[in-house]
């Protein structure tokens, strides 16, 4: 399979590994009156991201590659609003990147990878929508 596809999938995996760590850190470190519900969202979103990382790893192995185990940059700290804003930024970056990688998979004639990435993209858009709703961001 194309090195471009494997590199793209490993980039996606590195980002998923980073947000797993980021979301779980926020889950452990978040405080404030609104925190119980938000902390549970951090935890459940981390679990979604774990599924994405696993899907990506399985696809990378199937295509003959080696899944990265090194996460990309992780954002830490701040109050709940900063944590949510940081998470929204990561989700928006992931949405943009997944759209680019979906196009790459389509151009490479790899419908299985494209479909997997579309499924992950749908989840990421749902996560972004949750954070936008909590932050009261109007589109």
Contact 71, 18 (CB under 8 A): yes
CATH superfamily of 3-135: Ferritin, core subunit, four-helix bundle (1.20.1260.10)
**CA angle 116-122-128, nearest 5°?**
135
Distance from C-alpha of 50 to C-alpha of 17, rounded to nearest angstrom: 7
Alpha helices (H) along 30-135: 35-62, 80-107, 111-135
What tens-digit pLDDT sequence spans the chain (139 residues)?
689 999 999 999 999 999 999 999 999 998 877 778 899 999 999 999 999 999 999 999 999 999 999 999 999 988 999 999 999 999 999 999 999 999 999 999 999 999 999 999 999 999 999 999 999 886 6
Tell me what pLDDT residue 70 has.
Answer: 98
Tell me what pLDDT residue 2 has.
Answer: 87
Tell me what pLDDT residue 125 has.
Answer: 98
pTM: 0.94
Domain spans of the chain? 3-135
């Amino acid at each position: 399979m194309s090195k471009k596809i494997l590199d793209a999938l490993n980039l996606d995996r590195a980002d998923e590994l980073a947000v797993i760590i980021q979301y779980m850190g926020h889950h452990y470190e978040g405080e404030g009156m609104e925190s119980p519900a938000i902390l549970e969202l951090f935890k459940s979103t981390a679990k979604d991201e774990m599924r994405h990382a696993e899907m990506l790893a399985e696809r990378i192995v199937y295509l003959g590659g080696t899944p990265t185990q090194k996460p990309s940059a992780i954002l830490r700290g701040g109050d709940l609003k900063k944590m949510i804003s940081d998470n929204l930024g990561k989700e928006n970056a992931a949405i943009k990147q997944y759209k680019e990688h979906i196009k790459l998979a389509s151009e490479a004639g790899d419908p299985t990878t494209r479909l997997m990435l579309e499924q992950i993209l749908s989840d990421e858009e749902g996560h972004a929508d949750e954070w936008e709703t909590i932050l009261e961001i109007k589109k």
